[in-house]
Amino acid sequence: MSVFPQKGLLGFLLILGLVALAPHPSVWADEVKAEVDCVSCHKEKTPQIVKDWEASAHHGNDVSCAACHGEEHQTAEDVGKVGLAGPEVCAQCHEEQVDRFKQGKHALAWAAMKAMPTFHWQPMALTEGLKGCGGCHKQGLKSEEEMRKLKETSPGFGLASCDVCHTRHLFSKKEAQQPQACRTCHMGIDHPQWEMYESSKHGVRYLLKQKGVLPESAAAPTCQTCHM
């Protein structure tokens, strides 16, 4: 018997085996359908979130909603099951960046605030919510239980830590590289870093660069130039 028919038979059997092991088309269809359902629903309920995600690098790289939030949340009745995308979730793709975050002072913000005895003596109006200490200090590393409690009492940016500097769901690296990203927290009478930067030559020149008054080649350090 010729060796060629034997090789042909082996190749045919190999192809059959691969086809048998491949996921059924319905599996792929279910994944696509789930993603479409997320977007179609949230276009109505939270349209700006969808717009930000559609303009993000995540969308461009096929990072689905379920990749960050899990698949347990399927209807309006089970919204409490949505997964909270904290640093550990981000680390699945951005391991190096999360490691660097954990080594920095921002990661200690939550623990540092909780460790201050005087913090616990203050009324909640001065500590909770976006206008209190926790509005910025919540960006530090927290447990999932703490994140869920914060979601109920202090909605907005920073809950997941990484979204303090590059706001969800756009998660723009370019945004995080601008000094205005620091302004949200580093301002006010108790820590007026933004006011000092904005009125310094560094800040004035950079803001003029942003407006196109000064050329891109003009020297104008930002917060990130020195601190990141």
Query: Which ranges of the chain would DSSP assign to H, the alpha helix?
Result: 3-21, 25-45, 47-54, 57-60, 65-69, 87-90, 95-103, 109-115, 124-127, 134-137, 144-153, 173-176, 180-183, 193-198, 201-210, 223-227
Rounded to an integer, what distance in angstroms lies between the CA atom of residue 213 and that of residue 197?
18
**Tens of pLDDT along 139-165?**
899 988 888 888 887 767 788 899 999
Q: How many CB atoms lie within 10 A of CB 228?
A: 12
How far apart CA 202 and CA 189 sit, in angstroms, is 21
Instruction: Determine the Cα–Cα distance for residues 160 and 89; give it in Å rounded to an integer.
Output: 10
Is 15 a residue whose pLDDT tops 70?
no
DSSP state of 105: G
Predicted confidence (pLDDT) per residue in 84-134, tens digit: 889 999 999 999 999 999 999 999 999 998 898 888 888 877 777 667 788
pLDDT band (50, 70, 90) for residue 35: low
Confidence of residue 26 (pLDDT cuts 50, 70, 90): very low
Q: Are 164 and 185 in contact (CB under 8 A)?
A: yes
User: Looking at residue 125, what is its pLDDT?
Assistant: 74
**Position 30 confidence tier, pLDDT thresholds 50, 70, 90:** very low
Residues 131 and 3: their CA atoms lie apart, in Å, by 79
